[in-house]
Amino acid sequence: MKEARFNLPDGRVLTWYEAGRGKPLVLLHGWAMSAAVFREIVDLLAADFRLLVPDLPGHGKSSPAAQNDLAGLASVLVSWLAAVSPVLPGLVGWSLGGMLSLEMARQQELPVDRLILISTTPRFTLDDDWDCGLPPAQVRALGRNLERRFEATLADFFSLAFAGEEIDSERLLAIRRFAVKRSPLPEPAAVCGLLDVLAAQDQRASLAAIRQPALVLHGDQDRITPVAAGQYLAQTLPRGAFAGFAGIGHGPFLSQPSRVADLIREFC
């Protein structure tokens, strides 16, 4: 992928990558990851799409955002896309990237063509009326562990993405090499702050107003965002559709990249 930098008015920088030609697709990665996680799926889709892949603020080589929440990150992405993509883009968001895709569609500051939401939830934590999330105590413990042993905690969280899968150890090692090892660690303050945002995030009330076609991809072994959250998204979004992945955890595009690429092509 070709690397580029977008300079924000306040002097901060968004680093992004480009590959391929055709209809623009924006790939938004998950919490504490970087654009590098999409390396394989970019290779599979580059013949069909112009792929625009940013390091989210505070991740990879991008500066932290001045406003480190969903609205603030979405605003940075909208400013960048307005400058680099004159054609209506589709958004492919994984986990946090899917939440950002929903926020950008809600804001309506920059029209988007359609949404592909991978392992995405409208609410990250459990609540009295929501049983499809992580216990708040588990999220608080994750935050404490980040303060004590930052890099090891991120490694443990990445391993959780594959919990419940039968994945070959060599394949998992190969994924770590391109998805984790080739990018700088995220900014600790940024990812810890975003974890607090995720603990309070609730996008359920905005779903009915999102009119773009939306394809939800979700593994039935997901231990981070349960599959029931993805099914809720597909049922609640006015133009939602669902594709499940049996025996797959939080990263379907990592575990079954060819199938995910085929579904994206078909949907777009």
- pLDDT at residue number 55: 98
Work out the number of other CB atoms within 10 angstroms of the CB of residue 128.
Answer: 5
Instruction: Determine the 3-state secondary structure of 29 from DSSP.
Output: coil
Q: For residue 260, count CB atoms less than 10 angstroms from its CB and return exposed for 0-12, middle for 13-18, buried for 19 or more.
A: buried
- pLDDT at residue number 143: 96
Delineate the domains of the chain, giving CATH numbers in brackets: 2-267 (3.40.50.1820)
Instruction: Determine the 3-state secondary structure of 111 from DSSP.
Output: coil
- pLDDT at residue number 210: 96
**HSE toward the beta carbon, residue 184, CA cutoff 13 A:** 13
Cβ–Cβ under 8 Å, residues 43 and 73: no
- pLDDT at residue number 256: 97
- pLDDT at residue number 254: 97
Active site residues per annotation: 95, 222, 250
Average confidence (pLDDT) per 10 residues, the chain, 268 residues: 94 97 96 97 97 98 96 95 90 98 92 96 96 95 96 95 92 93 92 95 97 97 97 98 98 97 97
Cβ–Cβ under 8 Å, residues 32 and 57: no
- pLDDT at residue number 86: 83
- pLDDT at residue number 19: 98
- pLDDT at residue number 174: 94
Q: For residue 170, count CB atoms less than 10 angstroms from its CB and return exposed for 0-12, middle for 13-18, buried for 19 or more.
A: exposed
- pLDDT at residue number 109: 84
